[in-house]
């Protein structure tokens, strides 16, 4: 040190954390809030819902964090390479001393004017009823033909064709090619739709797919044009919009009968796989067979029950004959018993009474004989053996008068021996 010179003032010694906070306060006072434009890099979503990524351009790179509350307001998911504009507050992440931008709002670069235009048109068309749910129609389960509007060079064409070929190779597809991006695309889309509408009115197609792959709001703007929206509403058959990725939304989606998140999903919505339909058909056939078998079983049981209740005349005669035989056996047994009892009495009483008992026994025998004769007269077969027959109609009802018959009526006759089937030629009334 040179004598006579004042020593230089010593710099302030900071604690690391205090210095980080001071830098953060300085940046907040001088810069915030800030708006930054750059390309997304290293994008990730934490389990907490927070988003972390970097914004970069050829001159630099900046770490960014977007917390769950703000991230939940996004209408799309950023991807690496997206050019975006963000608004937020520049700060210092003190645990690492890193410069960090806390993002509060994020949108695709240049989206602002386009998006405002989109919102104005959406509100106008919605007020005119173009989005009303009551005009939306269900999709046909098994279309006769599928119309497809897309670009010949689009990946969406390959995706849709692959899905339809795999699921419903038997359904014809009518392609109406069109540009899907650029100043002339809206007019071409309308012309392609009108061409398919003529096919629909001729019965060739009964559902239409309007598809293209994803892109920026500028890339998809043809599907936000009013002429396209009104053309979609004029469709004579249900129309499915499959424009962009799941997060992309266009005016066409609101006008269509149904929105699909991707072109492939649009194809799947109108194409129930043939194998599934065949399985359903097999199941319906098995169910129908089971129901018919069950109905037949019930009908046969009812027929058996009716037949058992009705019976046949021969069965009734046999039953009556058994009853007559049983009555005869009981009567003979009773007479025999009474005779035995009378014999026992004769041995005990005076011989003078034997004659009276003998006469009484004779009377009983005669009475028995008469009873047997009466029983024999009750036997229906005795009547049949005299040349008579028992006639019944086709319902089993006994026929006793000619007035009960008609020409050509089938009858069933029971004879003393055997049965015959007869046909009435001409009833004669006596």
Provide the whole-model pTM: 0.47
Strand order of the β-sheet with 390-392 is: 390-392, 410-414, 419-423
In terms of residue numbers, what domain contains 72?
16-109
Which secondary-structure segment (H or E) carries 92?
A: strand 83-93
Residue, of 427 and 43, whose pLDDT is higher: 43
Band the pLDDT of 126: cuts 50, 70, 90: very high
Q: Is the pLDDT of residue 255 over 90?
A: yes
Residue, of 345 and 70, whose pLDDT is higher: 70
Give the chain's domain count. Answer: 4
d(CA 138, CA 3): 99
Q: What is the pLDDT of residues 132-154, one digit of tens each?
A: 999 999 999 889 999 999 999 88
Residue, of 379 and 57, whose pLDDT is higher: 57
Band the pLDDT of 111: cuts 50, 70, 90: low
> Does residue 232 share a domain with residue 148?
yes
> Does residue 23 share a domain with residue 123?
no
Average pLDDT, the chain: 82
> Does residue 190 share a domain with residue 75?
no
> Does residue 172 share a domain with residue 85?
no
> Does residue 395 share a domain with residue 379?
no
d(CA 386, CA 29): 135
> Does residue 124 share a domain with residue 101?
no
d(CA 112, CA 402): 103
Q: Is the pLDDT of residue 3 over 60?
A: no
> Does residue 257 share a domain with residue 220?
yes
Residue 132 lies in a domain: yes
> Does residue 123 share a domain with residue 72?
no
What CATH number corresponds to the domain at position 161? Answer: 3.40.50.261
For the chain, give percent helix, strand, coil, nearest 5: 45, 20, 35
> Does residue 92 share a domain with residue 38?
yes
Give the pLDDT of residue 262. 92
- Is the peptide bond between 36 and the residue preceding it cis, with omega within 30 degrees of 0? no
Q: How far is CA 266 from CA 156, 159, 242, 422, in A?
A: 10, 10, 5, 73
Band the pLDDT of 420: cuts 50, 70, 90: confident
d(CA 323, CA 306): 24
What CATH number corresponds to the domain at position 34? Answer: 2.40.50.140
Residue 233 lies in a domain: yes
Q: Is the pLDDT of residue 235 over 90?
A: yes
Q: What is the pLDDT of residues 167-198, one digit of tens each?
A: 999 999 999 999 999 889 999 999 999 999 99
Q: What is the pLDDT of residues 330-380, one digit of tens each?
A: 777 776 777 666 555 545 665 666 677 778 878 878 887 777 777 766 667
Share above pLDDT 90 across residues of the chain, in percent, rounded to a whole number: 31
Q: What is the pLDDT of residues 94-104, one digit of tens each?
A: 777 778 888 98
Evaluate whether 324 touches 316 at the Cβ level (below 8 Å). Answer: no
> Does residue 174 share a domain with residue 233?
yes
> Does residue 400 share a domain with residue 354?
no
b/e 24-52 (16+ beta carbons within 10 angstroms → b): beebeeeeeeeebebbbeebeeeeeeebe
> Does residue 397 share a domain with residue 356?
no
Give the pLDDT of residue 15. 73
Share above pLDDT 70 across residues of the chain, in percent, rounded to a whole number: 84
Band the pLDDT of 268: cuts 50, 70, 90: very high
Give the pLDDT of residue 312. 58
Give the pLDDT of residue 1. 47
SS3 of residue 183 by DSSP = coil
Range ranked top by mean pLDDT from 40-44, 221-225, 341-345: 221-225
Residue, of 166 and 320, whose pLDDT is higher: 166
């Amino acid at each position: 040190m040179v004598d006579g010179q004042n020593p230089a003032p010593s710099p302030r010694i900071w604690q690391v954390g205090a210095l980080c906070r001071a830098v953060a306060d300085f940046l907040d006072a001088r810069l915030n809030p800030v708006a930054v434009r750059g390309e997304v890099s290293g994008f990730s979503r934490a389990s907490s819902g927070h988003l972390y990524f970097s914004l970069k351009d050829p001159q630099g790179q900046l770490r960014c964090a977007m917390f769950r509350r703000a991230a939940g307001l996004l209408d799309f998911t950023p991807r690496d390479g997206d050019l975006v504009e963000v608004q937020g507050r520049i700060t210092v992440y003190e645990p690492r001393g890193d410069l960090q931008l806390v993002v509060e709002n994020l949108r695709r670069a240049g989206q602002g004017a386009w998006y405002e235009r989109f919102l104005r048109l959406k509100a106008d068309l919605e007020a005119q009823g173009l989005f009303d749910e009551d005009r939306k129609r269900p999709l046909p389960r098994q279309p006769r033909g599928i119309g497809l509007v897309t670009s010949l060079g689009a990946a969406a064409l390959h995706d849709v064709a692959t899905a339809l070929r795999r699921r419903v190779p038997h359904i014809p597809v009518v392609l109406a090619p069109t540009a899907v991006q650029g100043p002339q695309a809206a007019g071409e889309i309308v012309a392609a739709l009108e061409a398919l509408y003529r096919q629909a009115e001729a019965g060739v197609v009964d559902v239409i797919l309007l598809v293209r792959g994803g892109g920026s709001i500028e890339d998809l703007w043809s599907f936000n044009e009013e002429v396209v929206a009104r053309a979609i509403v004029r469709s004579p058959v249900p129309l499915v919009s499959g424009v962009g990725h799941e997060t992309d939304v266009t005016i066409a989606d609101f006008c269509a009968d149904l929105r699909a998140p991707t072109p492939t999903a649009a194809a799947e919505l109108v194409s129930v796989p043939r194998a599934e339909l065949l399985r359903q058909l097999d199941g319906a056939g098995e169910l129908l067979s089971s129901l018919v078998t069950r109905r037949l079983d019930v009908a046969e049981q009812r027929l058996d029950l009716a037949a058992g209740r009705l019976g046949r005349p021969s069965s009734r005669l046999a039953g009556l004959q058994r009853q007559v035989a049983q009555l005869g056996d009981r009567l003979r047994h009773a007479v025999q018993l009474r005779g035995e009892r009378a014999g026992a009495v004769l041995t005990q009483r005076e011989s003078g009474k034997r004659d009276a008992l003998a006469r009484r026994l004779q009377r009983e025998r005669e009475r028995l004989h008469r009873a047997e004769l009466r029983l024999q007269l009750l036997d229906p077969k005795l009547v049949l053996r005299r040349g008579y027959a028992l006639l019944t109609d086709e319902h089993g009802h006994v026929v006793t008068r000619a007035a009960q018959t008609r020409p050509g009526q089938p009858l069933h006759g029971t004879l003393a021996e055997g049965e015959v089937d007869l046909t009435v030629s001409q009833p004669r009334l006596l």
